[in-house]
Chains A and B, each alone.
Chain A
């Protein structure tokens, strides 16, 4: 029963990943694409957490922490580039 709950959550997460991908490829301006990238990253963090839960290995949380850190850095760099600081 708990496995079915996790399966439903994974299906919902994949659907929201598709929404982020739509905005990433269509978005009219650069900021739209960066926001879509941020949303995709948060979805992927939760998916990695579910994967750590299913396999029972805690090392995936370290992967999620490093991935979130790199994504945050990427967003900051792109926003700084738009403002003309780089």
Chain B
């Protein structure tokens, strides 16, 4: 234990390196989402990768940005805006993914031939749910 740890600037630098690592992890997750968007065979799989992985990547990246900017935390409510942005992404991204998937099901875009299970069709056949359709 060197006494450097108890100095203010050293601790700040450690937090900044942690934030940089979080930012790079988040952007790698966004890159994986983009590769999945290119390579997946089906609309439904593309919606799945394109929104879930990018939600995780955006959350990690904004946490990293918030930690990287620790010098600015005292001015103009910086960290509050970052937290509001993270909560906003957590709320809106799954909603848009869900409604896009439903729209694709209504358009009757075909599955790939590897698809084995369609739970919504089973439920419609058993009269548990109604079929989503044009209004």
Contacts and interface: CB of A to CB of B under 8 A. Distances in A.
Interface residues of B, number: 57
A61 B35 CA distance: 27
Contact of B34 (A9, A15, A84): A15
B89 A49 contact: no
A23 B36 CA distance: 10
Nearest to A5: B20
Contacts of A23: 37-38, 46
Contacts, number: 171
A22, A43, A64, A69: residue with the most chain B Cβ atoms closer than 10 Å: A43
Interface of A: 1-2, 5-6, 8-9, 12-13, 15-20, 22-23, 29-32, 34-36, 38-39, 42-43, 45-46, 49-50, 52-53, 56, 58, 61-62, 64-65, 68-69, 72, 75-76, 78-80, 82-85
8 contacts: A8-B24, A19-B38, A29-B43, A42-B54, A42-B93, A65-B85, A72-B96, A84-B134
Q: What are the nearest 6 A-B pairs in CB distance? A: A19-B34, A84-B134, A5-B20, A16-B34, A61-B81, A82-B103
